[in-house]
């Protein structure tokens, strides 16, 4: 089993470390620009500027940072062995594609023919229904549910517990607030909250 390095020793990084353990990784390390020492007992071995030096051909990397914009910046700055990580409890149907760098957390369901881009977070118990297209660097928060044939643009954040009705398109770089219910397309970049969800800014 390769060495596993998580970029970002914060809360999201910790959940990824547990996910990695459940996937059988044993040599787990963190890299962080703002912390040293250890995280959850795993050593913090360097900074982002050292990622290329750590890319030795026997190491798998993932970004453990919740900010979509920061994940994008780090992924684009470092051409290394980014891998995807799927918790063993996740239900992944047939004909699903999952891009490199994407992490899928415990209890999520990804149904048939869904396409998930690169460096996404499909968080705890999220539901990605059939034929969804989730753009790169998107984050589908814990307990959020996307109905069938939903399209989520790059860098969009679907908040915790939000629901998106089937056949809805949400454009890039949107924020859908916690608990929102989206029943019409979000065609303009911005923050949408409430039931039904309305653009608030
Ligand atoms: C929508 C959101 C991004 C707004 O954050 P913000 O810009 O800091 O907004 P504020 O907290 O200042 O709230 C502004 C107003 O919107 C309201 N509001 C905030 N979030 C709301 C939500 N999810 N639904 C309905 N109204 C909301 C506030 O009550 C406030 O209303 P007021 O002006 O009448 O007092 C944020 O509240 C949210 O829902 N984030 C998602 C968090 C999440 O999913 N976390 C999971 C991480 S794993």
Q: What are phi and psi of 20, to 5 degrees?
A: -65, -40
The reply to whether 57 and 123 lie within a common domain is no
d(CA 42, ligand 1 centre) in Å: 34
The reply to whether 44 and 102 lie within a common domain is no
Q: Does 137 have pLDDT greater than 90?
A: yes
The minimum-distance atom of ligand 1 relative to the CA of 144 is 44
Amino acid 45: pLDDT: 98
The reply to whether 47 and 108 lie within a common domain is no
Amino acid 6: pLDDT: 98
Amino acid 15: pLDDT: 98
Catalytic residue among 87, 119, 130, 139: 130
The pLDDT tens digits for 21-30 are 999 999 999 9
Mean of pLDDT values over 114-134 = 98
Tell me how far apart the alpha carbons of residues 116 and 67 are, in angstroms, rounded to a whole number: 17
Residue among 101, 123, 121, 126 at smallest CA distance from 111: 126
Tokens 């780090």 sit at which residue?
74
The set of residues, in sequence order, having a beta carbon less than 8 Å from that of 85 and lying 6+ positions away, is 16, 19, 20, 23, 62, 102, 103, 104
Last residue of a domain, one of 29, 54, 77: 77
Residue among 51, 55, 62, 52 at smallest CA distance from 25: 62
Which of 159, 162, 170, 198 to probe ligand 1 with, by most ligand atoms within 8 A of CB?
159
- Would you call 130 a catalytic residue per the annotation? yes
Tell me how far apart the alpha carbons of residues 147 and 140 are, in angstroms, rounded to a whole number: 13
CATH of the domain at 37: 3.40.50.20
The residue segments making up the domain with residue 129 are 84-192
Residue among 3, 94, 13, 107 at smallest CA distance from 55: 3
Q: If you take atom 40 of ligand 1, which residue's CA is the nearest one?
A: 177
The reply to whether 181 and 92 lie within a common domain is yes
Residue among 59, 60, 35, 56 at smallest CA distance from 46: 35
The reply to whether 17 and 63 lie within a common domain is yes
> Tokens representing 102?
């994407």
The reply to whether 73 and 91 lie within a common domain is no
Q: Does 128 have pLDDT greater than 80?
A: yes
The pLDDT tens digits for 21-63 are 999 999 999 999 999 999 999 999 999 999 999 999 999 999 9
Amino acid 201: pLDDT: 73
> Tokens representing 1?
């089993």
| Whole-prediction pTM | 0.98
Q: How many domains does the chain have?
A: 2
Last residue of a domain, one of 17, 44, 77: 77
Residues with CB under 6 A from ligand 1: 123, 141-142, 159-160, 175, 177-179, 191, 193-194, 200
The pLDDT tens digits for 76-90 are 999 999 999 999 999
């Amino acid at each position: 089993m390769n060495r596993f390095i998580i970029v970002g020793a914060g809360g999201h990084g910790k959940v990824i470390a547990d996910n990695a353990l459940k996937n059988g990784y044993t040599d787990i390390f963190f890299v962080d620009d703002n912390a040293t020492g250890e995280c959850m007992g795993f050593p913090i071995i360097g900074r982002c500027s050292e990622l290329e030096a750590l890319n030795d051909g026997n190491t798998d990397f993932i970004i453990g940072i919740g900010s979509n914009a920061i994940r994008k910046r780090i992924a684009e700055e470092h051409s290394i062995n980014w891998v995807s990580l799927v918790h063993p409890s996740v239900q992944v149907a047939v004909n699903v594609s999952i891009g490199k760098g994407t992490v899928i957390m415990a209890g999520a369901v990804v149904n048939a023919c869904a396409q998930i881009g690169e460096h996404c977070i499909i968080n705890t118990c999220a539901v990605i229904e059939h034929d969804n297209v989730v753009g790169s660097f998107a984050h589908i928060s814990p307990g959020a549910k996307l109905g069938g044939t939903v399209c989520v643009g790059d860098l969009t954040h679907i908040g915790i517990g939000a629901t998106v009705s089937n056949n809805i398109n949400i454009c890039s770089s949107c924020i859908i607030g916690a608990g929102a219910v989206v029943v019409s397309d979000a065609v303009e970049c911005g923050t949408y909250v409430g039931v039904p969800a309305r653009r608030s800014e």
